[in-house]
Amino acid sequence: MKAFTNIRNGGLGLKKFWLSLLVGLIAVVMAACGGDEGSEDGSASASGEKTITLKMADNHPDDYPTVVGDKEFARLVEEKTDGKYKIEVYSGGQLGDEKSVIEQLQVGSIDLSRVNVSPVSEFSDQIGVLGLPYLFEDEDHKWDILNGEIGEELLESLDDAKLVGLAYYDSGARNFYNSKRPVSKPADMKGLKIRVQQSDIFIELVKSLGASPTPMSYDEVYSGIQTGVLDGAENNFPSYYSSNHFEVAKYYTIDQHSNVPEVVLASASLWDKLDEDAKKAFKEAAMESQKVQREAWDKLTADSEKEILAAGNEITEIDDPAEWREAVQPLYDKHGEKYKEYLDKIKK
């Protein structure tokens, strides 16, 4: 009652009320948006400007190649912006699983992230072409595409999802693994309950092989296999090893069904606040950090294969690659039209 009387009672009371409401609202919005513009930490960069600290998410452990890449990216951004931007890397999924990290990027509560392209393709269609099975002929073909015009166009296509694609990182080749039996031909996959990333293409891929797909976040897969909810999953050597999935699913098949890469993303809300020089610095830093990431990648791929063999796991080569390619053809029949423009360019 009293408050109402006050407001009605005079111009000054009313103004004060609105002013304090406005100040309160601004404080709430700023607190909620935490990482939005990054936080100014009060210290000054070499150029005398305030240092802005940004948050970058990665779901892999600290020494995993993507995190090694993220840290190199952070180092280069700091160097190229004379210390104006400082990036703190939150590894190990501290900021959430990939799907939630992408959503947080979209609203600007996380500034940067390294994620896999598969979950990104649920937010922006075109880049999904990179998840299609047996897309590249070899490593050189893959990197020509990713680091060339097509890769760049696909990164740019992400702006429809309020995401800014900066560079690709290596994720090798994905392979199936399970706890039940060795798999060397598509028919061996029949009936296996296989976890996939949260992506339609991977759901259909597993179905085309006669297995049963379960989309689920990465951090739940170990217990899924251990408790028998899942028979297996699919991933590259470094992930199979570092996630400890190799402990619960000992049969690994080198079928190399997908080379879907990793990608470094910025939120559009961060991007819109950067000036042209800073944008250039972030883009260059991401591209340059790829070198260090790929070196770390090659090393962990070789090391993890050794560790897996030493643990007594069974690694199976496939009998006939043509048979696997043929089995997944329904995906091309279904998505070929949508991705035609890119598929034609990639195959050329």
Q: Considering only residues 296-335, where is the footprint of ligand GTR by CB under 6 A?
A: none
Complex with ligand GTR: residue 260 or 281, whichever CB lies closer: 260
Which residue in 91, 171, 208, 242 binds ligand GTR (CB under 6 A)? 171
Distance CA 348, CA 342 (A): 10
Strands (E), the chain: 39-44, 50-57, 85-90, 112-116, 163-169, 174-178, 193-196, 212-215, 232-235, 251-258, 262-267, 314-317
CA count, 13 A, side-chain hemisphere, 212: 6
Q: Does 98 bind ligand GTR (CB under 6 A)?
A: yes
Question: Do residues 113 and 74 touch, judged by C-beta distance below 8 A?
Answer: no
Side chain identity at residue 177, one-letter code: Y
Q: Does 262 bind ligand GTR (CB under 6 A)?
A: yes
CB of 313 to ligand GTR, least distance (A): 18
CB of 54 to ligand GTR, least distance (A): 20
Which residue in 208, 239, 289, 316 binds ligand GTR (CB under 6 A)? 239
Distance CA 246, CA 344 (A): 37
Contacts of residue 334, Cβ cutoff 8 Å, sequence gap at least 6: 204
Complex with ligand GTR: residue 199 or 208, whichever CB lies closer: 199
> CA torsion angle for 84, 39, 286, 274 (degrees, to 10)?
-70
Q: Does 235 bind ligand GTR (CB under 6 A)?
A: yes
Alpha helices (H) along 193-255 = 200-208, 221-226, 237-242, 245-248
Complex with ligand GTR: residue 109 or 239, whichever CB lies closer: 239
Q: Does 91 bind ligand GTR (CB under 6 A)?
A: no
In DSSP terms, 199 is beta-bridged to none
Distance CA 16, CA 7 (A): 9
Which residue in 81, 104, 116, 242 binds ligand GTR (CB under 6 A)? 116
Which residue in 91, 197, 253, 258 binds ligand GTR (CB under 6 A)? 197
CB of 305 to ligand GTR, least distance (A): 15
Complex with ligand GTR: residue 194 or 285, whichever CB lies closer: 194
Complex with ligand GTR: residue 98 or 188, whichever CB lies closer: 98
CB of 15 to ligand GTR, least distance (A): 52
Distance CA 235, CA 256 (A): 9
Of 265, 269, 201, 278, nearest to 234 by C-alpha is 201
Which residue in 51, 59, 104, 290 binds ligand GTR (CB under 6 A)? 59
CB of 152 to ligand GTR, least distance (A): 21
Complex with ligand GTR: residue 152 or 219, whichever CB lies closer: 219
CB of 297 to ligand GTR, least distance (A): 10
Total binding residues toward ligand GTR, as defined by CB under 6 A: 11
Complex with ligand GTR: residue 85 or 169, whichever CB lies closer: 169
Q: Does 214 bind ligand GTR (CB under 6 A)?
A: no
- Write the DSSP symbol of residue 179: S
Q: Does 115 bind ligand GTR (CB under 6 A)?
A: yes
Of 131, 124, 128, 121, nearest to 159 by C-alpha is 124
Q: Does 290 bind ligand GTR (CB under 6 A)?
A: no
Which positions lie near ligand GTR, rule CB under 6 A?
A: 59, 98, 115-116, 171, 197, 218, 235-236, 239, 262
